[in-house]
Amino acid sequence: MRDPRDEQYAKLLVETCIDVRPGWQVLVSSGVLGRPLFEEVCRAIAERGAYVIPRVGFEGFLGGPNIWIKTASDELLSAPPPLEEHTLLNVDAIMAIVAPENTRQSADIEGRRMQLLAKGAERIQERMISGEVPWVGCQYPTSALAQDAGMTLEQFADFLYGAVLLDWDAERKRMKKIKELFDGASEVRIVGRGTDVRIGLEGREGKIDAAGANIPGGEVFYSPVEDSAEGVIEFSEFPPLYAGREITNIRFRFEGGRIVEATAGSNEDFLLETLDTDEGARRLGELGIGCNPGITRYMKNTLFDEKINGTVHLAVGRGFPELGGTNVSAIHWDIVKDVREEGRIELDGEVVQENGEWAHELAVHG
């Protein structure tokens, strides 16, 4: 049976997130388990008088099938297929529906091979992250995602739709108050368990994610001043899952904006390998503030976890040129810090959030 929420979801993606125009060529990537949403998206794109370029497969989006990634030569991995690269550099919009059968599917791929893939796709990544092409990434409920979250498939589906199908105009208005607080600041200080780090925002303006490039939305984010980060941050609460690997107790120490010391409780070799992808991988490309009221718990799913009210996240790697970011890297990896307990955020020395509660309550919710 068709789930009416899939139709609402598809319209949100096509009409709000991307705003597909007549005649556009829209590349839509999906895992096979995402078929119900994929079909609704195709219907919605057709109703807007646009073309669908379908990319449906078992794994991945840009990298290709895992068996190919494991077998291909370094030369092949270092450059995307010319025909596919041409497509991605020329389509009018891109949509990725993530619907994994196994979230650890890439766990046995060497980090070195993943780095080669990332470097080879830099032109495509640059086009997307610079805002040159409208794009959106989203997820569809699968048993693998539900299992990671400790939920049944039905529970996960309800949770996902509850975080996605919001009144995004109202959320944008609410987040505008938060953005104004941070836009007026020169420096952010994040204090929490194992954490005391300062990050510069001088001259940088933030952006509100209210049904934009990521769904669910619900964050205000910045590209920090590249040489500004100083101090230590410990990501001990929410172990991220990256490239099929779970990495626990990540700890970074920054000097002059650069990660000069990095440790982890598990998969530390992979962490260090990723940070050594290129020079920009040890600098920050993003500071984000979670604001989605529909996401209240850890899901072991960064797309959701980075939007939890009372969290912040840092991304190592590529910055956002449209937000003044100049850091260049083949990677952009978001890692979430929970400051809802024993934590606070300061702007130029003034506490604006403590233990997940905004000090400027009226300014934010008024």
- pLDDT at 362 > cutoff 60: no
294: its two tokens? 């529909």
Question: Quick one: 130 and 239 in the same domain?
Answer: no
Task: For 147-206, write each residue's pLDDT tens digit.
Answer: 999 999 999 999 999 999 999 999 999 999 999 999 999 999 999 999 999 999 999 999
Task: For 17-71, write each residue's pLDDT tens digit.
Answer: 999 999 999 999 999 999 999 999 999 999 999 999 999 988 755 567 888 888 9
pLDDT of res. 361: 54
The residue segments making up the domain with residue 93 are 4-164
Domain count, the chain: 2
232: its two tokens? 């230590």
- How many C-beta neighbours within 10 Å does residue 125 have? 20
Residue for token digits 């990521």?
214
pLDDT of res. 336: 96
pLDDT of res. 62: 56
- How many C-beta neighbours within 10 Å does residue 91 have? 19
Domain boundary among 164, 193, 226: 164
User: What does the alpha-carbon distance between residue 158 and residue 4 come to, in Å, rounded to a whole number?
Assistant: 13
pLDDT of res. 47: 98
- In this structure, are residues 274 and 333 in contact, taking their beta carbons and an 8 Å threshold? yes
Sheet holding 219-222, edge to edge: 207-209, 219-222, 284-290, 311-317, 332-338
Question: Quick one: 213 and 140 in the same domain?
Answer: no
pLDDT of res. 188: 98
What is the pLDDT confidence band of residue 228, given thresholds at 50, 70 and 90?
A: very high
CATH number of the domain encompassing residue 23: 3.40.1830.10
Question: Quick one: 101 and 22 in the same domain?
Answer: yes
Question: Quick one: 291 and 182 in the same domain?
Answer: yes
pTM over 0.85: no
Q: Which amino acid is at 238?
A: F
How far the first Cα of the chain sits from its last, in Å, is 42
Question: Quick one: 183 and 136 in the same domain?
Answer: no
Question: Quick one: 240 and 184 in the same domain?
Answer: yes
Task: For 235-259, write each residue's pLDDT tens digit.
Answer: 999 998 888 889 999 999 999 999 9
- Own/partner contacts of 11-14, CB < 8 Å, gap of 24 or more, are 11/44, 12/164, 12/165, 12/168, 12/211, 12/215, 13/41, 13/44, 13/95, 13/136, 13/138, 13/215, 14/41, 14/44, 14/45, 14/48
Count, residues in the chain: 366
Question: Quick one: 292 and 326 in the same domain?
Answer: yes
- In this structure, are residues 283 and 327 in contact, taking their beta carbons and an 8 Å threshold? yes
Question: Quick one: 158 and 271 in the same domain?
Answer: no
Domain boundary among 143, 164, 185: 164
Task: For 87-136, write each residue's pLDDT tens digit.
Answer: 999 999 999 999 999 888 888 888 888 888 888 888 898 888 888 999 99
110: its two tokens? 């060497």
User: What does the alpha-carbon distance between residue 338 and residue 68 come to, in Å, rounded to a whole number?
Assistant: 37
Question: Quick one: 49 and 73 in the same domain?
Answer: yes
Question: Quick one: 274 and 186 in the same domain?
Answer: yes
Question: Quick one: 36 and 23 in the same domain?
Answer: yes
User: What does the alpha-carbon distance between residue 336 and residue 360 come to, in Å, rounded to a whole number?
Assistant: 23
User: What does the alpha-carbon distance between residue 320 and residue 294 come to, in Å, rounded to a whole number?
Assistant: 26
Domain boundary among 103, 129, 164: 164
Question: Quick one: 112 and 219 in the same domain?
Answer: no
- pLDDT at 352 > cutoff 70: yes
Nearest to 59 by CA among 115, 93, 107, 14: 107
- pLDDT at 363 > cutoff 80: no
